[in-house]
Structure formats: C-alpha cells, structure tokens
Chains A and B, each alone.
Chain A
C-alpha cells in the first residue's frame, strides 16, 4: 500500500462532518499556519514540496504562488477550480463529496499564504449536490470560527463562497472560469496578462485545482521536505487517478507517483485488469485531451523501459511515442473498442465545447468532427486521413486557449498509432467494431 495523503480517512464514517474530520486531525494545518507561520513561510514549504498543479498542466504550485503581484494594492483572490469536466476525470468530485472539509482547510491555508481575504470555489453547475455538501461544510467552519473574522483568534480573516457554473467545459480553463465568475460568457482571455497580475475583477489572482489545494494542509503539517520525499524525481507526492473504461475496478485511486503503469492496470490494488478476460488495446492516460497510446507503448517506453505513473515517464518519447499525466483521467480501452468511433466522439465533444472565439478552433473542430463522422459511417476517402492530420496541425498553437491543442492532440495521436484501423474503415466500412451502433440521431447535435 502506498502512502495516502488525501484519501487516508475517506472511509471513516461521518468524515463529511466537521466533528469527525477534526477528530481525525483535520484543521491542524490551519492552526499551525495561522498561529506559528507567516504567509511567506507557507509559500516556502509549498515550494519545497515540489507540488505540481493537479488540474492538468502540472505547473509547480509554489512558483505560481510566488508570481502573485504583491506590489499591487488591490485585493488578492484565490479561486479554486472545481469545474472538473475533462472526459475521464472524476477525482475532484469524489474528493469534495467524500471529504469536503479537506478542500476547505486547504482553501483557508492557501488563502492565508496568498493574502486573500475573499476566496471562491467555482464548482461546475451540474454538481448541484456537491455544491450543497460544500455549503454545509462551509457553514460548519464559520460556526467553529475557522472562517470569517479573526480566524481562531488570529488577525487573519477570510470569507469563502461557492460559485456554480452553468454547464460549459471551457470554464475549466482558468481565464474562462474567471470570466464566468464575473457573470459573463466563458470566453478565455488573451494571455498575458496572466491571472497572477490581472485575474478576478482585474486583481491579482491564483487559480488552483481542487486536488492541488487539498494537498496543502498535509504539506503544512509535515513539511515540504516530507512531501518531496514521496514519489520520484520531479513527480513528488501522491496523485489521484480516476480510472474508467474496460477495467474490473473503475474508481478513484490515490497512488504514490512512480507506480508502474502495468501494476496500476493489472494489480488488484488498483484497476484489477481488463474486464471479461479481454485484451488491453489502448489507454488515454490523463483525460481526453492527451495523446492516446496503444497497449505496448503505455506499458513500456520506446526505449523498452517500464512506463511509470509520473509526469516524466508518461511523457517520455514526446508526442511520437509518449503522452501526459494530465488530470489523471485514466481511460482504458479493450479490444472491442473502435478507435475511429471513439475519436469521432471526442472530436464531437471538442467542437461542441469550443467557445467559438478563434476561427482555427471553431472551424477546425467542426471540420474534424465532420470528416471523422463520414469515415466512421462508411463514407470516408483515403485522403481524409491525412486531411485530419493536416487540420489538427493547423489548429495547434494558433488559438487563444489550449482547447485547440486539446482537440488536435487526440486526432494526431490516434492516427499516428492506429492508422491501419482508419484505413480499414475506408476500405471496408463494415469492419467497424461498433457497426451495430450506427443510429444517427442519438449522438448528433
């Protein structure tokens, strides 16, 4: 069993309540930070921990915090990104639902470190019941003097609010999220300026993922060095992996970074292997936006080394033979799954979710969806395959926000690794493994 930082007490009855959470050692980090540390010392521990953003990009959290414009005399904000909508990702919902106080404790500690006096948790609107759980936990924290004026008798005060989204994947992108929190359409902003300088209401702002913030109390309690001692190299600490698809035990697992991918898929401690004795065909390791890898390349790198669940090992080989840890949304495909149909589904998703501001993204995602639709439905041409690669290439790097890349990478990687399956669809449309599902209207717009 690996080290557990976030989920150690997840099965304790009543852990949702403040009383039980405190009994299990909860809110000690708030006490420690507010009574015996200054904000810069907290930032320093987070820097030492090597913690990297758990929302997808893996940017070092301590460094992000130190970019916050301290010279500005405007208020500063911490906004928690709980928009979780990347297909395959369901770890933040699990954490908030099961141990809401862990996120709230993290928000208090992190807001203190950043000098924020008002902080928001932006939760995707579909998770109404999670919002109710969080609001209840926040009310408990206020009543116990852990939020509000002069927390635990210190001179630090903080107000914490939950904000619902309205159903839009793009609002997970941090600047779109800020626009949405301001009561507008979720159109990503041009960067720079970055949120650290120009964020919520034009004030210095840090946006962090739920899991990132939930890691902070442990780092305060045990020190950044202790956190950095877990994991391998620059992949320190633990990571929540939400595993789904054709595996025996889908669910949310906390792993020490560094577990071999093979062990993660096949051992009974984690996914328990492929369902119904089928064969592993492919894996999307970090949410739908990262490149898909076929079975051999997800288990071992191109250099024949065992692939590990770390940022570095998963991206070994770049986009030619590697992928990314991303958000930890681990989607497993068995040999009954059709790669073309799956890619069409993802392309449809990105087209649907494009905010429409930049033409390469707006038009390109629609074009890819259309071409994939015709290949999947038996009307494709051989030249369509290269056309897809070309369109994907023309989106990359030419858009305001990374949704463009998120739509392009899956296309490029699926064709790189599974070209034969696309060609077979063109040559022999009846070869599709999911032929029986070709009923048009259900998935159309």
Chain B
C-alpha cells in the first residue's frame, strides 16, 4: 500500500478541481503528496500514481523527470537546497555553499553517510532580498539571511531533532 485511506480521499478531492475528463491536471499536486509520504519517487510509486489517475506510466515519468523538485533517487531525511543564482551570489552564496560542503563533508548532489542530509543547489527562490537562502524539504521552510554560523546552528538543531 503506497497511500493511506485519507490520502486516497484527498487525491479524489483534488481531482474535482478540474473539469470532467481533465484529471491529468491533478498529476503535479499528487506527485507532491507522493513525495511527501515517501521522500522520493520510485518507479513503483509512480506506477501507482498512474493507476490512481488513470494515466499511462510514461505520462507520469515524463512529468516527474521534467520538474526539479521531484527526486527520482533516494534522498536523505533532510534535503537542503541552497540558492546558487546571481543575486544570492552577490551577497555571499558561493562562500556559503563552499562552507556547507565542508561542514557536511559532502559535495553538492551527495547524501551524508548517516542518511540525514542531502545537499542540492537550486535556482532563485524569489527571496533575493534576504539572501543567501536555502530551503529544507520535506516542508520546504525557507532560511534566509544565512551566514556560515547560522548554517552550523541549523545543522546542530536538525541533528538533535533527528
């Protein structure tokens, strides 16, 4: 079972947002729910989404692979996504990214060996006035005006929570 009963109900509700026969529109919202429940989208999970929405599996794969938010490989418990776009780099994002890699002992795209953190870069998060900025999945909370010290503190808090 990939989805709880209440999730299935939620998915049925989402389908009603669109006109008759246009339930394919529910695909992105449902993929977000699937990822929230399972942390990443395996082929089996995508097949289940296809079945629920009465789509061909390929319709799900081609969409999941187009959008950067969907993880097609396993990720750590916390996915840390730091903005690497120009305006953030003007206020120290590159220095911060180097620090993050050193602090966690991994490079961008990798997961720590304890399975706790995955480090990724993303493009402009529409928070350029409060950069450098990162977001942490699965909730996608923004952390703004970052410094190396604030990042270290954040990591300690997450480690304590895990």
Q: A residues touching B (Cβ–Cβ < 8 Å)?
A: 75, 84-90, 92-93, 118, 124-129, 159, 161, 163-169, 180-186, 201, 242-246, 250-252, 288, 329, 331, 333, 337, 341-342, 345-346, 349, 352-353, 434, 437, 439, 441-444
Contact = CB atoms under 8 A, between A and B. Distances in A.
B31 interface: yes
Nearest to B70: A166
B124 A167 contact: no
Interface string B53-84: 00000010011001111100000000000001
B127 A166 contact: no
A176 B118 CA distance: 30
B94 A437 contact: yes
Contacts of B85: 87, 288, 345, 349
A125 B64 CA distance: 13
B156 to A, nearest CB: 23
Contact of B131 (A75, A166, A168, A244): A244
A434 B69 CA distance: 30
B162 interface: no
Contact of A93 (B90, B94, B126): B126
Contacts of A346: 86
A405 B70 CA distance: 28
B147 interface: no
Interface residues of B, number: 49
Contacts, number: 162
Given A92-B126, A245-B90, A434-B94, 17 more contacts: A75-B19, A85-B126, A88-B124, A90-B128, A125-B28, A129-B142, A163-B28, A166-B31, A167-B68, A168-B67, A183-B28, A185-B62, A242-B129, A244-B129, A331-B87, A346-B86, A349-B85
23 contacts: A88-B86, A88-B128, A90-B127, A128-B139, A128-B140, A163-B25, A164-B28, A169-B123, A169-B124, A181-B25, A242-B128, A242-B129, A244-B128, A245-B90, A246-B90, A342-B86, A342-B90, A437-B94, A437-B98, A441-B107, A442-B94, A442-B98, A442-B107
Given A126-B69, A166-B70, A442-B101, A331 B128 contact: yes
B141 A129 contact: yes
B129 A182 contact: no
Given A126-B69, A168-B67, A201-B19, A349 B123 contact: yes
Interface of B: 17, 19, 22, 24-29, 31-32, 59, 62-63, 66-70, 84-87, 89-91, 94-95, 97-98, 101, 107-108, 121-131, 135, 139-142
Contacts of A349: 85-86, 123-124
Contacts of B68: 166-168
Contacts of B26: 183
A337 B32 CA distance: 38
* Nearest 7 pairs of A and B residues by beta carbon: A166-B67, A167-B69, A250-B129, A183-B24, A183-B27, A167-B68, A244-B128
B86 A443 contact: no
A349 B121 CA distance: 12
Nearest to B83: A87
A247 B128 CA distance: 12
A180 B28 contact: yes
Nearest to A336: B90
Contacts of B90: 244-246, 331, 333, 337, 342
B144 to A, nearest CB: 11
Nearest to A331: B87
Given A118-B19, A165-B28, A352 B123 contact: yes
A129 B138 CA distance: 12
Given A164-B29, A167-B67, A443 B84 contact: yes
Nearest to B29: A164
Given A118-B19, A128-B140, A185-B63, A163 B29 contact: yes
A93 B127 contact: yes
Nearest to B142: A129
Contacts of A243: 129
Contacts of B86: 87-88, 288, 331, 342, 345-346, 349
